[in-house]
Structure 1
Amino acid sequence: MAAFASQALGMRELSPPPLNLKRLYAETLEIEPVLIIISPGADPSQELLELASETVGRENYHEVAMGQGQADLALATLRECARSGEWLCLKNLHLVTAWLPLLEKEMNAMQPKAGFRLWLTAEVHPKFTPILLQSSLKITYEAPPGLKKNLLRTYESWSAEQVSKGGQLTRAQALFCLAWFHAVCQERRNYIPQGWTKFYEFSLSDLRAGFDIIDRLFEGGKAFQWEFVHGLLENAIYGGRMDSLCDLRVLRSYLLQFFSARLLSPTHSRARKSSPFPTQISLPSSCSVLDYRGMIENLPEDDRPAFFGLPANIERSSQRIISSQVISQLRILSRSVAAGSKFDREVWSSGLSPVLNLWKKLNQGSSLIHQKVSPPSESQGSPILSFIVLEQFNGIRLVQSIHQSLAAVSKVIRGTSLLTADVHKLATALLNQECPLSWQNKWEGPEDPMQYLRAVVARALAIQSWVEKAEKQSLLTDTLDLSELFHPDTFLNALRQETARSRGCSMDSLKFVASWRSSISAATLQVKVGGLKLEGCSFDGNRLSENQHDSPSVSAVPSCYMAWIPQSAAGSYGPEECISLPVYTSAERVRVVTNIDVPCGGSPDQWIQCGAALFLTQQ
């Protein structure tokens, strides 16, 4: 793909060298503003300030951060700078797109002095005025790729005085740990959803806030309290951006590793066997910024998965994910622009026939579409049986409602029915390769409509055998595949309810346990679950093991017994011999079904940072 894109664009390589503002300055003119297009997590202010200090002197450089009430100040400063030939930077213009025509008018009327330069920064925004775009010299400014460049940028933004302040060795080393931690948090985003489950906007402002905390805690030579750093970085700064417990657990594990007395106390710095850093890094016993820069220069250009605690085969899964993203983007590009806006029989017929044909094929030989189902009665007795009958009822109802909506689309294409707003909305979504909201509201499944239809029919058919087994009371003796259910988490809850009934205790007094060895002796009811997949490491039923470079990215694991037992009863594993891993519905890691204990050796950090997780299905 990279080779194809380079050839098509006529470029030697796709990633340009890091932006050098000093080189760029040679190309600028006083009458042409320089627009720096920034991405989240990248801020050129510091570099621009350094360039201005070198070129025109700090006192001749002015900055206005745009936002509420800054417009008049910005225009007044612009006139003053143009008259005296000084530099002005207007930051974050994407926040004031309605005001930009005024800025254009002012610029057209100006006759600036020779030394004047106008620098503008903005994130990409659909309402940014095209005239200002056309009349500016445009450059993009992104967070540097890779740990090494990330660390170098941080150390370029910190002055020698900032690093060596007070001559405190532990403080200088703690700042390096902060820079490393910040780089790891940003670069781990290249491995979504195994690194982080989603993209978090960690930015330079987080690094600054972290710097202030460390700076303040070292003031006055007091005894340093690492818990403050952990608490503030986890709850307020970096962790404040996160909404996933699994991601927070990874963050916490990094904080405990990088900010600890064990790593940074003067007596331990010589004999550190369990350093969290790669072999190329040993913390300098100095406060000089040059020593830290020199050490960073020794790092390899390309990131190694081990820098993040990720498994050696992560490249395979990240390439698989990027490939599927590219394919879905190519699909979106290949659809016709007019497809969704108005009804065109030709476009609708060719665009929707794959969906309609797939639906026909999926339902051949099955009676789901015409099956009569009545809502389950209250008198089922057993919570598990009630759940399964309800799951069957909802599954068949979902299939029938999808069938009605697709039949309506088909009739409009054939001309035997009139176009309604609902049909238009549904067809537009399908033409855009999106799963219609009216379907997702009934059951949240895959985003891709073709995958969604396959998933619905497969589950609706599989649930029939669950009902038969439950009626024969053989369900809990069979090996079950939870991916055959629409709501696997509710099934585990029904098991909890039934266990509580049979024991005559409250549901709150039960805990969820898993065993990979044998059945669970303390359980009155248990299920044997098969078909689970594991990513991030390997598991043979006895203990977790690291993935090697050539290990498959996702592997099957043995069947597992799951049950609810009294809080006081002993589980299958002691707390120090196992780790709790999330079980997601699919490899996209969007919805957690439950967490289960898996026996492991080694430090828990290893398994947390490698992004180990189980899935019911590999979509």
Structure 2
Amino acid sequence: MKAISSPDDHRLACVDIIRTVGFPVNNTDSFLLKAPAEGSTCPGMRELSPPPLNLKRLYGETLETEPLLLIISAGADPSQELQDLASQTVGRENYHEVAMGQGQADVALQALRECVRSGEWLCLKNLHLVTPWLPLLEKEINSMKPKAGFRLWLTAEVHAKFPPILLQSSLKITYEAPPGLKKNLTRTYESWSTEQISKGGHLTRAQSLFCLAWFHAVCQERRNYIPQGWTKFYEFSLSDLRAGFEIIDRLFEGGKVFQWEFVHGLLENAIYGGRIDNVCDLRILRSYLQQFFNAQLLAQSHTHSRVKKTHAFPAQIRLPNSCSIADYRAVVDALPEDDKPSFFGLPANIERSSQRIVSSQVISQLRILSRSVAAGSKFDREIWSNALSPVLNLWKRLNQGSSLIHQKVALPSEGVGSPVLSFVQLEQFNGIRLVQSIHQSLASLSKVIRGTSLMTADVHKLATALLNQECPLSWQNKWEGPEDPMQYLRAVVFRALAIQGWVERAERAGLLSETLDLSELFHPDTFLNALRQETARLMSCSMDSLKFVTSWRGKITEAQLQVKIGGLQLEGCSFDGNRLSESHHDSPSVSAVPACHMAWIPQSTAGSYSPDECISLPVYSSAERVCVVTNVQLPCAGDHDTWIQSGAALFLKQQ
């Protein structure tokens, strides 16, 4: 590494570092790269992280002969910002876009040649989809002699086969949602002009736009806490923010009476909510909309009363009674650099869960890096033996002392016995068949490794998946379990052994009188449906006329048939059997909850709790929050939004 011996060396070193990580460098003061004062170690920087990307500021550093490559990430789309910049700079009619894909190569080359001749702007989007064509684009760029004013904008996701020469000849900019609530809001208010905020002199309009910017930032930053924040990554982008801006802008036109229901409905059903396909996530979004867009919030700011914690903003934040963009930027500048979980309504111990998830992801990535690319492509006895021995040895240990591999069980007859008994017998049959199927496939693999059997296509597929530390598709098709093959094998044997006890108790009609653990079943949701069917038969009514209820106080007096379920775990808050309570910073991320009674009762019958004193939370089959088993009612106090936004959910006991 080059030694830094002077202020100029110090500045150049900073420039090199910033160029290395892919950020544009402004040679004046974009990054505050100034010579440090004597004895100082910081060259005038207020912070280490760069400011949010501003394409307008970036444009001043560009040349017509140098393409601008925007490296985008999921949920980041620069199209709208580029269109706005073009409209302000060269006019919208002088800006052209081509979305790359099948059959667009000739269209792109023709548009490039025309823009080069006329000095207009061209954006070629999603180049990662056409990497084989990029060398041709590279030659066209090298041979062009553009007219002054021409700009070539390129967008692409990270791709291993992107031509390095085109990469090196372009000005590279990473384009993604800025990290942190403060930077997200800063970027939004940099993209909005003074006229946009103060238009019409409507105070409520200016404050509503701040609520929109905050709401947009919260939706994006909550993705850092998957799966407790959102269950998956949703591509909320600047296009959503712009659509929300236009909604608020139009609702204030012509002195119309502002109606928050329109904002809630459009943002939930047409814009942000249109990206969400999970019922629990949609409930979180709806909760945010109710808190960020309501007349009470703005009325509090008009009377100079501080917004309480249960409302949209932190306690120290107060909406400005102003239409000046400078006042709103001052509020943003006063925010802390590090986000607090309370900004999103998440519990104080969310970092524990987040760190656990990140650790799992790092371990998974390390496993991917350890994969041998050549291992699965062709048979190598030594490589296969060394890599697959842990799986084969684990399977042998799991089945020691059990008769699952050789056990014979007949397919239960339909319509014989109660629905619950029929279910557990079928569960036993499928579990044993799955164990024996896995054993047969692993035995075939073992014979190939030992050289006593010939390679087949099925064995090769099985070995390839296991060498890549993936659960074989042939197994997942029979039961959708953990992705890790070692965990999958443990889960299968655990359930296959446990269901034997369920069958014995069900055959002597003692199953429903004991405390049951749903994690011992392959299909726990089907068990609850069988309980529903048996209840309907007992009550001589239709299944549709029944509703599912839970009780943590004891038996459900209204139920003729019920079951006691234990082993549930809770994340996002705490529960002692009486009331939900918020988690503290030192609270465990996941805690056990007492056993509860579950039953199906008539729709017209009141349950153990009134709707106002309880909240319905999902019960997932695992902490990954992929498969919902059922929803249960838990007694709580206070605002339901507290528990909704905390991402509270229950899981079956993890093995």
TM-score (structure 2 length as normaliser): 0.87
Q: What do the CA deviations read for 1:253-297 (whole angstroms, capped 9, x no partner)? A: 101111112223488653455432102321111111111111111
- Taking the aligned partners of 2:125 and 2:411, their CA distance within structure 1 comes to 60
Moved more, 22-31 or 358-367: 22-31
Q: Could you say which residue in structure 2 is the equivalent of 1:526?
A: 562
Q: Could you say which residue in structure 2 is the equivalent of 1:579?
A: 615
Residue 261, structure 1, aligned to residue 319, structure 2: no
Root-mean-square deviation over aligned CA pairs: 2.7
Q: Which runs of 5+ in 1 are unaligned?
A: 1-9
Query: Which of the residues 17, 32, 35 maps onto 2:50?
Result: 17
Query: Which of the residues 373, 389, 394 maps onto 2:430?
Result: 394
Q: Could you say which residue in structure 1 is the equivalent of 2:473?
A: 437
- The 5 Å alignment of 1:303-322 reads 303-322=339-358
Moved more, 333-342 or 61-70: 61-70
Q: What do the CA deviations read for 1:200-224 (whole angstroms, capped 9, x no partner)? A: 1111111111111111111111111
- The 5 Å alignment of 1:154-169 reads 154-169=188-203
Residue 381, structure 1, aligned to residue 414, structure 2: no
Q: What do the CA deviations read for 1:507-541 (whole angstroms, capped 9, x no partner)? A: 11111111001111111111111110000000000
Tell whether the 8 Å contact from 2:301 to 2:320 is kept in structure 1 after alignment.
Answer: no
| Distance verdict in 2 for CA 1:52–1:355, change over 3 Å | same
Residue 287, structure 1, aligned to residue 287, structure 2: no
- The 5 Å alignment of 1:556-571 reads 556-571=592-607
Matching residue's letter, 1:602: G
- Taking the aligned partners of 1:316 and 1:266, their CA distance within structure 2 comes to 35
| Distance verdict in 2 for CA 1:286–1:411, change over 3 Å | same
SS across alignment from 2:374: helix
Residue 425, structure 1, aligned to residue 461, structure 2: yes
| Distance verdict in 2 for CA 1:495–1:53, change over 3 Å | closer
Q: What do the CA deviations read for 1:363-410 (whole angstroms, capped 9, x no partner)? A: 011110010111112353111111111111110010000000100111
Structure 1 position 82, deviation (Å): 4.5
Structure 1 position 228, deviation (Å): 1.2
Tell whether the 8 Å contact from 2:98 to 2:123 is kept in structure 1 after alignment.
Answer: no
Tell whether the 8 Å contact from 1:511 to 1:564 is kept in structure 2 after alignment.
Answer: yes
SS across alignment from 2:316: coil
- Taking the aligned partners of 2:300 and 2:524, their CA distance within structure 1 comes to 52
Q: Could you say which residue in structure 2 is the equivalent of 1:608?
A: 644
Tell whether the 8 Å contact from 2:64 to 2:152 is kept in structure 1 after alignment.
Answer: yes
Tell whether the 8 Å contact from 1:66 to 1:90 is kept in structure 2 after alignment.
Answer: yes
SS across alignment from 1:617: coil
Residue 250, structure 1, aligned to residue 284, structure 2: yes
- Taking the aligned partners of 1:23 and 1:164, their CA distance within structure 2 comes to 23
Q: Could you say which residue in structure 2 is the equivalent of 1:217?
A: 251
| Distance verdict in 2 for CA 1:358–1:83, change over 3 Å | same
Q: Could you say which residue in structure 2 is the equivalent of 1:233?
A: 267
Q: What do the CA deviations read for 1:487-509 (whole angstroms, capped 9, x no partner)? A: 11111111111111111111111
Structure 1 position 470, deviation (Å): 1.1
Moved more, 595-604 or 25-34: 25-34
Q: What do the CA deviations read for 1:115-168 (whole angstroms, capped 9, x no partner)? A: 755332223346644543343233322210011100110111111111111111
Matching residue's letter, 1:260: N
Matching residue's letter, 2:205: R
Tell whether the 8 Å contact from 2:229 to 2:647 is kept in structure 1 after alignment.
Answer: yes
- Taking the aligned partners of 2:556 and 2:81, their CA distance within structure 1 comes to 62
- Taking the aligned partners of 2:116 and 2:513, their CA distance within structure 1 comes to 83
| Distance verdict in 2 for CA 1:286–1:348, change over 3 Å | same
Query: Which of the residues 315, 334, 337 maps onto 2:373?
Result: 337
- Taking the aligned partners of 1:618 and 1:131, their CA distance within structure 2 comes to 50
Residue 67, structure 1, aligned to residue 103, structure 2: no
- Taking the aligned partners of 1:494 and 1:100, their CA distance within structure 2 comes to 58
Structure 1 position 235, deviation (Å): 1.1
Tell whether the 8 Å contact from 2:76 to 2:235 is kept in structure 1 after alignment.
Answer: no
| Distance verdict in 2 for CA 1:337–1:447, change over 3 Å | same
- Taking the aligned partners of 2:68 and 2:506, their CA distance within structure 1 comes to 70
- Taking the aligned partners of 1:163 and 1:24, their CA distance within structure 2 comes to 23
SS across alignment from 1:475: coil
Moved more, 108-117 or 476-485: 108-117
Q: Could you say which residue in structure 2 is the equivalent of 1:122?
A: 156
Structure 1 position 612, deviation (Å): 0.4
- Taking the aligned partners of 1:383 and 1:430, their CA distance within structure 2 comes to 38
Q: Which runs of 5+ in 2 are unaligned?
A: 1-15, 22-47
Matching residue's letter, 2:97: A
TM-score (structure 1 length as normaliser): 0.92
- Taking the aligned partners of 1:77 and 1:422, their CA distance within structure 2 comes to 49
Aligned length: 608
- Taking the aligned partners of 1:204 and 1:233, their CA distance within structure 2 comes to 14
- Taking the aligned partners of 1:199 and 1:119, their CA distance within structure 2 comes to 27
SS across alignment from 2:99: coil
Q: Could you say which residue in structure 2 is the equivalent of 1:513?
A: 549
Q: Report sequence identity in percent.
A: 79
Query: Which of the residues 212, 215, 219 maps onto 1:181?
Result: 215
Q: Could you say which residue in structure 2 is the equivalent of 1:359?
A: 395
Structure 1 position 21, deviation (Å): 5.8
Matching residue's letter, 1:506: S
Q: Could you say which residue in structure 1 is the equivalent of 2:233?
A: 199
SS across alignment from 2:583: coil
Moved more, 14-23 or 347-356: 14-23
Tell whether the 8 Å contact from 2:297 to 2:307 is kept in structure 1 after alignment.
Answer: no
Structure 1 position 102, deviation (Å): 4.3
- Taking the aligned partners of 1:477 and 1:500, their CA distance within structure 2 comes to 19
SS across alignment from 1:325: helix
Q: Could you say which residue in structure 2 is the equivalent of 1:3?
A: none
Matching residue's letter, 2:273: G
Tell whether the 8 Å contact from 1:36 to 1:122 is kept in structure 2 after alignment.
Answer: yes
Structure 1 position 111, deviation (Å): 2.9
Structure 1 position 445, deviation (Å): 0.5
Structure 1 position 617, deviation (Å): 2.3
- Taking the aligned partners of 2:267 and 2:376, their CA distance within structure 1 comes to 45
- Taking the aligned partners of 1:416 and 1:234, their CA distance within structure 2 comes to 61
| Distance verdict in 2 for CA 1:70–1:453, change over 3 Å | closer
Residue 475, structure 1, aligned to residue 511, structure 2: yes
- Taking the aligned partners of 2:557 and 2:360, their CA distance within structure 1 comes to 44
Tell whether the 8 Å contact from 2:306 to 2:315 is kept in structure 1 after alignment.
Answer: no
Structure 1 position 88, deviation (Å): 4.8
SS across alignment from 1:476: coil
Structure 1 position 584, deviation (Å): 0.5
| Distance verdict in 2 for CA 1:506–1:83, change over 3 Å | closer
Structure 1 position 99, deviation (Å): 5.2
- Taking the aligned partners of 1:120 and 1:297, their CA distance within structure 2 comes to 32
SS across alignment from 1:279: coil
Q: What do the CA deviations read for 1:456-494 (whole angstroms, capped 9, x no partner)? A: 000000111111111222211111111000011111111
Structure 1 position 112, deviation (Å): 3.9
- Taking the aligned partners of 2:133 and 2:96, their CA distance within structure 1 comes to 14
Query: Which of the residues 540, 549, 571 maps onto 2:585?
Result: 549
Matching residue's letter, 1:446: P
| Distance verdict in 2 for CA 1:593–1:77, change over 3 Å | closer
Matching residue's letter, 2:189: Y
Matching residue's letter, 2:421: L
Residue 33, structure 1, aligned to residue 67, structure 2: yes
Structure 1 position 236, deviation (Å): 1.3
- Taking the aligned partners of 2:618 and 2:286, their CA distance within structure 1 comes to 16
| Distance verdict in 2 for CA 1:526–1:32, change over 3 Å | same
